């Protein structure tokens, strides 16, 4: 069963628009971590953020922000004032204590930002 669901397969926005990438997860562990990774066309996975299950504070880093809500099992990612360089595939991932913290990835959301 898919533990991480990224319902949006592809999103296309015009530069400077805000965009939110959705992530819903499923776990029975009380201790777990959530991640977002970016995979540009070059193929390398780039770490963006990690949150643990005990910290629901939202986080902002420049144009990026993350909204973690345990009540809805969601960990959404917003890019403000998108830029062409943001074009990539974005993966949400879950790691759980009972699986040795191996990453369980969603299928990814392909974001295209056009000028």
62: region left, alpha or beta (phi > 0 left; psi from -120 to 50 alpha):
left
Closest separation in Å from C-beta 84 to other proteins: 22
Nearer CB in complex with other proteins: 89/113: 89
Q: Which residues of this protein are in contact with other proteins, per CB under 8 A?
A: 4, 33, 35, 37, 42-45, 47, 50, 52, 91, 93, 95, 97, 99-108
Answer yes or no: are the C-beta atoms of 10 and 110 closer than 8 Å. Answer: yes
Closest separation in Å from C-beta 105 to other proteins: 3
Closest separation in Å from C-beta 115 to other proteins: 25
């Amino acid at each position: 069963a898919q533990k991480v669901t990224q319902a949006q397969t592809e999103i296309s926005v015009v530069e400077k628009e805000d965009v939110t990438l959705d992530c819903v997860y499923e776990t029975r562990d009380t201790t777990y971590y959530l991640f977002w990774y970016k995979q540009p066309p070059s193929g390398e996975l780039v770490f963006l953020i990690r949150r643990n299950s005990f910290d629901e504070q939202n986080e902002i880093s420049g144009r990026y922000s993350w909204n973690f809500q345990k009540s809805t099992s969601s960990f959404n990612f917003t890019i403000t004032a998108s830029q062409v360089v943001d074009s990539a595939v974005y993966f949400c991932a879950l790691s759980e204590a009972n699986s040795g913290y191996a990453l369980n990835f969603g299928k990814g959301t392909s974001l295209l930002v056009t000028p």
